[in-house]
Structure 1
Amino acid sequence: MRTIRLLGALLAAGLVSGCSLFSSSNTAKPAELEQITPAIAGRVVWTARVDNVKFPLAIAARGEQFVVAGGDGVVQSLRASDGQLNWRADVGQKLSAAVGSDGRFAAVVTRDNELVLIDSGQVLWRKTLPTPTFAAPLVAGERVFVLTVDRQVHAFDAQDGRKLWVLRRPGEPLTLAQPGVIGAYKDTLIVGQGARLTGVDPLQGSVRWEASIGNARGTNEVERLADLVGPMQRSGEILCARSFQSALGCVNAERGSLIWSRNIGGKLGVGGDAKQLFAADASDRLSAWNIANGDVQWTAEQFLNRQLTAPLSLGQTVVVGDYEGYVHFVSQETGKTQLRLSTDGSPVAATPVALGQTILVATRNGGLFAMRPE
């Protein structure tokens, strides 16, 4: 029964996520690019490449390096300041999940469900997982944590690959073939299981708390999909996430209690800072909410149906990419566009990531573009 349920999940959720990697309807006409007078300066400072991106891409940013992986299984560490190669490793298989890194170790998952750990450019070990994975592994505290498509959580020792524990929870009939939520808060592992944000003891694999952000709605199992989707936003003790096509919400990680939740449709994760949460809805309306109480601060409609990425908050700016490879810099105070930079014309494939003032953007064609607003 578990195998049948998983196959159903992969088929149904694959159909859903296949059209949700870009977050608008195929029939809706994208908004034309608005005419803007740049309010800030910015430029591309270096470029690099990975293989064409045909899997859920994420970029790891640690210390002074960006760690990226292409679909062909090549993993690279690039110096944030100038894009110079620190190390390169080829795991020899195509990937299903992006790279996770703590600065030393880097972990990826292949299409054959193999978890591969790299230590400073050398493959250290490989372990086979029981089910597919779409979320980048979390590497923290000399451990590797993996969230599989059926929302099991597996923990491995980073040094030798020993399985430490596995957390299995009763699940929904279908799960979403899209990267879920996995992260950390102090000494607590944070994972998304269905519409619940769950705090887990990383040493034992036991549940410390749960808080539901969304509620399943609809007349069939596909419509009722409400899994939490990454990326998650952490601001101090507040954790915020999106429940797929259902809601946005924030949780107090110290108490494990829901602070607020709003019924807002959407398919991609969130970004933010200590004061505001940013996200696009299913039609790519970009909005800002007060992170303390969920009140709307502004809504911007200049990007309707432009298939936005999840947002990055940097300084006084919100950064999003779109389906034509444009990167938009938006004022955090007003939602007005401040700057637009272009890449290679293919869709921006992952949430932009920042180290200091350097922002790295990856495109579907494998282009890596490092940008600096000024």
Structure 2
Amino acid sequence: MTLGIPKKQLIRVSFGALTLALLAGCASKGESAYSPKELRSFDETSSLDTQWDRKVGEGLGHARYPIAPAREGDTVFAAGVEGVVMAMNADSGDVEWKIDLDTTISSALTAVAGQVYLATGNGEVIALDQSDGSEEWRSRVSSEVLAAPQANQQLLVVQSVDGRVTALDRASGEERWVYTSSQPSLTLRGTGTPMVIDPVSFVGLANGRLATLDNRSGQPLWEMQVATPRGRSEVERLVDLSGQPIISPDGRLFVTSYNGRVVALEATQGDVLWEADLSSRHTPILVGDFLFVVTDDSQVVALDANSGREIWRNDELQDRWLTAPAFADGRLVFGDFEGYVHLIDAREGDIVGRTRVHGSGITVRPVTDGSTIHVQANNGRLETLEVTP
């Protein structure tokens, strides 16, 4: 018997771009379509209890813009495709402010140091005051932005869909530099998200290359080919680095690639420490000595971050279009295409909890703080869950 509930309780830019996303997912497997696994009963050891929920605008829209929410301190910030932005108390869900930017929001949100940053479908980048939602500045970059803008102390670094990376002054929005890369004729919908620290920005590109940019000038310090195009068709040759590079406290860089590999690099020079033959379009997550990766067919893999050795693999959610992983109190958190939130024990790899948020599906990564999870469904429903025990 197949059930979406624990045994313990008895029991998708343009049309062309959306089509490409589907084709690309199939290309790595050589199949005509995904065949999502049915959910099966399991022994529930963690429960997910709803604390509050709110409707945020009209959701992600028909194009499924990746408008992931953000949290800083005790406030959660979320937006809808048509321009609504809301700030809510993370504990109670009380609305602190709500504004309408009257433009199409296209990117995930970033909340840092008293500001909220987001971008629009026509290439505008907007900075809002976290306290009241007032607009502090608005700047334009070269094209549509789908990745969350990333900040260090001075700059806001923005990667647009035409392959350009633009650094803006965080205080004023003025352009500081632009880095331009070559684009293949066919790419996945979306771009990588830069990893920005004070001296440099690590940028994954649609041509399979990783560039490390000097934040003073935008000039590359080193570049390397993480994934090499192979195959005869343009779809087979997709090698996008569409996740965000992750850096460890000791200076190791972890990078995923589509139709490519997962690599660990020494961040200052780009020397390869290890590599694993896994295709992923998602940002991985590093917890201690574990690197967790969601593959393109939605298998969840735990790797030893020191060696790349596979520790465990869970294929029970295969082809369910899992989001990138988040981490909540010892458990990995994912949303799926039917709107379920799944918990997997990070050490053992077993499914330990599940609930459903909304049937419209979940395509953006959950936001977590301790044992609290904020999940935004495609229709705009933002639900806050608490993991127990």
Identity across aligned pairs (percent)? 27
- What is the Cα deviation at residue 368 of structure 1? 0.8
Q: Which amino acid aligns with 1:251?
A: L
Are residue 70 (structure 1) and residue 80 (structure 2) matched?
yes
**Which shifted more, 114-123 or 325-334?**
114-123
Which residue in 1 is equivalent to 2:313? 299
Mapped to 2, the partners of 1:186 and 1:269 lie a distance apart of 21
> CA 1:208 to 1:87, structure 2 compared with 1: closer, same or farther past 3 Å?
farther
- What is the Cα deviation at residue 133 of structure 1? 1.8
Q: Does structure 2 retain, via aligned residues, the 8 Å contact 1:101–1:138?
A: no
- What is the Cα deviation at residue 288 of structure 1? 0.9
- What is the Cα deviation at residue 206 of structure 1? 1.8
User: Which runs of structure 1 show a deviation greater than 4 angstroms over 4 or more consecutive aligned residues?
Assistant: 9-14, 18-26
Q: What pairs up with 1:57-206 in 2 under 5 angstroms?
A: 57-120=67-130, 121-193=133-205, 194-206=207-219
Q: Which amino acid aligns with 2:98?
A: R
Which segments of 5 or more consecutive residues in structure 2 lack a partner in the other structure?
A: 1-12
Q: Does structure 2 retain, via aligned residues, the 8 Å contact 1:72–1:95?
A: yes
Mapped to 2, the partners of 1:357 and 1:86 lie a distance apart of 23
Q: Note the alpha carbon deviations across 1:106-137, whole angstroms, 9 max, x for none.
A: 22222222222222311122222222222121
Q: Does structure 2 retain, via aligned residues, the 8 Å contact 1:213–1:247?
A: yes
Q: Does structure 1 retain, via aligned residues, the 8 Å contact 2:23–2:235?
A: no
- What is the Cα deviation at residue 233 of structure 1? 3.2
> CA 1:80 to 1:213, structure 2 compared with 1: closer, same or farther past 3 Å?
farther
> CA 1:34 to 1:234, structure 2 compared with 1: closer, same or farther past 3 Å?
farther
Q: Which amino acid aligns with 1:47?
A: D
> CA 1:87 to 1:20, structure 2 compared with 1: closer, same or farther past 3 Å?
farther
- What is the Cα deviation at residue 66 of structure 1? 2.3
Instruction: Give the number of equivalent residue pairs.
Output: 366
- What is the Cα deviation at residue 298 of structure 1? 0.8
- What is the Cα deviation at residue 11 of structure 1? 8.6
**Which shifted more, 336-345 or 78-87?**
78-87
- What is the Cα deviation at residue 76 of structure 1? 2.0
Mapped to 1, the partners of 2:15 and 2:48 lie a distance apart of 43
Q: Does structure 1 retain, via aligned residues, the 8 Å contact 2:227–2:259?
A: no
Q: State the Cα RMSD in Å.
A: 2.6
TM-score (norm 1): 0.89
Which residue in 2 is equivalent to 1:326? 340
Which residue in 2 is equivalent to 1:31? 37
Are residue 207 (structure 1) and residue 220 (structure 2) matched?
yes
Relative contact order: is structure 1 or structure 2 higher (C-alpha 8 Å, sep ≥ 6)? 1
Q: Note the alpha carbon deviations across 1:60-115, whole angstroms, 9 max, x for none.
A: 23233222221111122222222233333322111222222314222222222222
TM-score (norm 2): 0.86
> CA 1:128 to 1:263, structure 2 compared with 1: closer, same or farther past 3 Å?
same
3-state DSSP class of the match of 2:242? strand
Q: Which amino acid aligns with 1:210?
A: E
Q: Which amino acid aligns with 2:203?
A: V
Q: Which amino acid aligns with 1:126?
A: R
- What is the Cα deviation at residue 173 of structure 1? 3.7
Which residue in 2 is equivalent to 1:4? none
Q: Which amino acid aligns with 1:105?
A: Q
Mapped to 2, the partners of 1:151 and 1:235 lie a distance apart of 26
Which segments of 5 or more consecutive residues in structure 1 lack a partner in the other structure?
A: 1-8
Q: Does structure 2 retain, via aligned residues, the 8 Å contact 1:217–1:246?
A: no
3-state DSSP class of the match of 1:230? coil
Which residue in 2 is equivalent to 1:52? 59
Mapped to 1, the partners of 2:226 and 2:379 lie a distance apart of 34
Mapped to 1, the partners of 2:141 and 2:15 lie a distance apart of 19
Q: Which amino acid aligns with 1:213?
A: V
Q: Which amino acid aligns with 2:36?
A: P
The structure where strand makes up a greater share of residues is 1
- What is the Cα deviation at residue 307 of structure 1? 1.5
3-state DSSP class of the match of 2:49? strand
3-state DSSP class of the match of 1:243? coil
- What is the Cα deviation at residue 284 of structure 1? 1.8
Which residue in 2 is equivalent to 1:336? 350
